[in-house]
Structure formats: structure tokens, C-alpha cells
């Protein structure tokens, strides 16, 4: 793995690869890599022959200073894990400092409207402006043919897709499935901050999603239309029974627009069920499933059984 920290060296490396006719795929991360990130890197290797992984804890997307300070950092561990990926090992790891990325306080930001009003946008002011601006910067720095984002951050994925479309950025956005722990908990760098009780409590998020999927399956099995209210009710009921978590939101929305779902959808309609909760007081976790996306449903049910 070639580690690069300055913008100038990064630009030279990606230029070299482009001249050599290589297909660059970017995997933007904030480090503290877990199996979920490694799956993104493997997907990148399937789609190109020059993977660039960026590792940067972007301060402008943290709305709470404590969360930024507590965000796990482990560059040595990250480099080691990436180096062990065999043929999927990235060509370049871009791990800049804050001064490399923001040599002076930026006066410019990228804002995606509407999609950022709900879910995490409602409770984390400025978060998605920070993400959209950072992703735009990274896409300009690396100029990849494709970039990989995880479905776990579903709202982020949709925000990125929209900004790429709206700004005509010449990059393909690839979505990678959520990777889960053996107990169904979605992998997250924040899981490192949970103690044993917290880990136990965290299961409530994926279990609530499971309840939502099962409710939708019941409706399909009985030949009926899909009731967003029933899906939401089932997920809420599961969440209400959980201990040790404080729910931030549980929402059932249309997956593309992230807008409120109608009361009824066709039997094969799609609904995003998204949940965020504080576990053990201060660790904020998120999870989601798209009901009606058979693969997403199957993966969730298999992992939470
Ligand atoms: O998903 C993340 O880790 C971050 O939001 C991203 C995309 C790297 C932007 O800082």
C-alpha cells in the first residue's frame, strides 16, 4: 500500500494511473476500518484496477465536538488491514491531515436540499453539508471513474447520488450492502465504543428493521397492498420493547426521495425503514433496510435470525 498524505502527491499518483489507462475507483472513509469498509474496498477492486482509499476524519461533518474527539482513529491498523486484502489491496491510501484538506477555512460549501431535511439531517445540523462538500472535494482530487459508498449510510448514499447527478460529475456511484456482526448489529466504527451491555442493546435496531420486513412479508403473503403504517407500527413496537437505547428516529420513507411514504403502496412497492438511536447514553448508531428490495430484505433476515 502506498500511503500518501499531501494533495500534490495524490494528484501526481492519480495522474500517473490515468495516463497508464487504469480505471480508478475511490473508497472514501473516515478510517477505523472494519469488515464493512473492507467489503467496499473489495467491491472497488471488482470494478477497477486502481483503488484509492481515503482516510480522513472530516471535522466539518461533525455537529458535536465530543463526537469528533471520540471518533476512533487507527491509521496503523487500517494500513495493515488494507495490506492484507491480497489482490484487492488498494494502490493508494490517501490519509491527509486537516491542514492538507483545509489549508484555510473554506468559504464554499456544497448543499443538497430536501434529501437532507429528514432522518440524520434533522438532528445533525450541517452534517450533510460537510459530507457533500468533502465528497465533492475528494471526487475532484482523485477524479475516479467510480466511487463506492455503503448502504448503511443510506441517506448519505442518496445525497451523493443526487449531488453527482445535479453537478454532472463524471463518476459512477457504486452501493455496497451493509455488513453485519454475527448478532445482526450493522458494522460501524462507533461499535468500538460500546461495552457489553451496549452491544446487547444495539441489537434492537436491526431487530426493529426485521420486524418491519416481516410485517411487509405478511402483507405480501396475504395478497394485499403494502401498508407503510403497518411496517412502521411493527418496527416501532419492536423498538419500544427494547432496553438501554434512546431512539432518535424511526422513519418509513420513499427510498429515492426520502419523502414521507403514502399510506398504501403496491404489493411490490419499496419503503426505506431507517432508525437511529443512542446506545449506552452517547453512542449514536444508525441502520436501515429497504423493504421491497428482495436482496436487502434477505440479507437482513439472514443476519438477524
Ligand atoms: O461515510 C463516511 O465515512 C464519510 O461521510 C465520508 C463519505 C468519507 C465523507 O467524509
76-110: per-residue pLDDT in tens? 999 999 999 999 999 999 999 999 999 999 999 99
> Which residue's alpha carbon is nearest to atom 1 within ligand 1?
29
- pLDDT for position 281: 84
Active site residue 37: yes
Find the 58 Cα to ligand 1 centroid distance in Å.
8
CB atoms closer than 10 angstroms to residue 79: 19
Q: Which of 26, 27, 28, 151 to mutate to test the pocket of ligand 1 (most atoms within 8 A of CB)?
A: 28
- Mean pLDDT over 179-188 rounds to 97
Mean pLDDT of 140-148: 98
Asked whether residue 146 carries a pLDDT value surpassing 90, the answer given is yes
* Rounded mean pLDDT, 29-44: 97
Residue nearest to atom 8 of ligand 1 (CA): 29
- Among residues 15, 23, 34, 37, the one annotated as catalytic is 37
Mean of per-residue pLDDT scores for the chain: 97
Q: Whose CA is nearest to atom 2 of ligand 1?
A: 29
Report the percentage of the chain scoring pLDDT > 70.
100
Neighbours of 195 (CB within 10 A): 11
How much distance in Å is there from the Cα of 105 to the middle of ligand 1? 19
Q: How many angstroms separate the CA atoms of 148 and 54, rounded?
A: 11
- Selection from 135, 220, 185, 141 nearest residue 34 by Cα: 185
Q: What cell was used for 191?
A: 461499535
| Test site for ligand 1: of 34, 36, 41, 61, most ligand atoms within 8 A of the Cβ | 61
Query: Rounded mean pLDDT of 212-226?
Result: 95
Q: In the structure, what pLDDT confidence band is assigned to residue 280 with cuts at 50, 70 and 90?
A: confident
Q: Under 8 Å CB-to-CB from 113, ≥6 apart: which residues?
A: none
Could you tell me the pLDDT band of residue 209, with boundaries at 50, 70 and 90? very high
Question: What band does 291 get if pLDDT is binned at 50, 70 and 90?
Answer: very high
Is the pTM higher than 0.95?
yes
Residue list, ligand 1 pocket, CB within 6 Å? 28-30, 58, 61, 131, 134-135, 153, 156
CA 246 from chain center: how many Å?
A: 21
Amino acid at each position: 500500500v502506498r500511503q500518501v498524505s499531501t494533495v500534490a502527491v495524490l494528484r501526481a499518483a492519480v495522474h500517473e494511473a490515468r495516463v497508464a489507462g487504469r480505471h480508478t475507483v475511490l473508497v472514501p472513509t473516515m478510517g477505523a476500518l472494519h469488515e464493512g469498509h473492507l467489503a467496499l474496498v473489495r467491491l472497488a477492486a471488482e470494478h477497477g484496477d486502481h483503488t484509492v482509499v481515503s482516510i480522513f476524519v472530516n471535522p466539518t461533518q461533525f455537529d458535536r465536538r465530543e463526537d469528533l474527539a471520540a471518533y476512533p482513529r487507527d491509521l496503523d491498523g487500517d494500513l495493515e488491514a488494507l495490506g492484507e486484502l491480497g489482490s484487492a489491496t488498494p494502490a493508494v491510501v490517501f490519509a491527509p491531515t486537516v491542514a492538507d484538506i483545509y489549508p484555510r477555512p473554506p468559504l464554499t460549501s456544497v448543499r443538497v436540499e430536501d434529501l437532507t431535511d429528514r432522518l440524520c439531517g434533522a438532528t445533525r445540523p450541517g452534517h450533510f453539508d460537510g459530507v457533500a462538500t468533502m465528497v465533492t472535494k475528494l471526487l475532484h482530487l482523485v477524479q475516479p471513474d467510480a466511487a463506492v459508498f455503503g448502504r448503511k449510510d443510506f441517506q448519505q448514499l442518496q445525497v451523493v447520488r443526487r449531488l453527482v447527478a445535479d453537478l454532472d460529475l463524471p463518476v459512477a456511484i457504486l452501493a455496497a450492502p451493509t455488513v453485519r456482526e454475527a448478532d445482526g448489529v450493522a458494522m460501524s466504527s462507533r461499535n468500538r465504543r460500546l461495552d457489553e451491555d451496549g452491544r446487547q442493546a444495539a441489537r434492537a435496531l436491526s431487530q426493529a428493521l426485521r420486524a418491519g420486513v416481516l410485517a411487509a412479508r405478511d402483507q405480501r403473503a396475504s395478497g394485499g397492498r403494502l401498508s407503510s403504517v403497518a411496517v412502521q407500527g411493527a418496527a416501532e413496537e419492536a423498538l419500544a420493547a427494547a432496553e438501554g437505547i434512546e431512539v432518535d428516529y424511526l422513519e418509513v420513507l420513499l427510498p429515492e426521495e426520502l419523502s414521507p411514504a403514502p399510506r398504501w403502496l403496491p404489493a411490490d412497492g419499496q419503503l426505506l425503514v431507517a432508525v437511529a438511536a443512542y446506545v449506552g447514553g452517547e453512542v449514536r448508531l444508525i441502520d436501515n433496510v429497504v423493504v421491497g428490495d428482495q436482496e436487502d430484505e434477505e440479507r437482513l433476515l439472514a443476519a438477524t435470525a
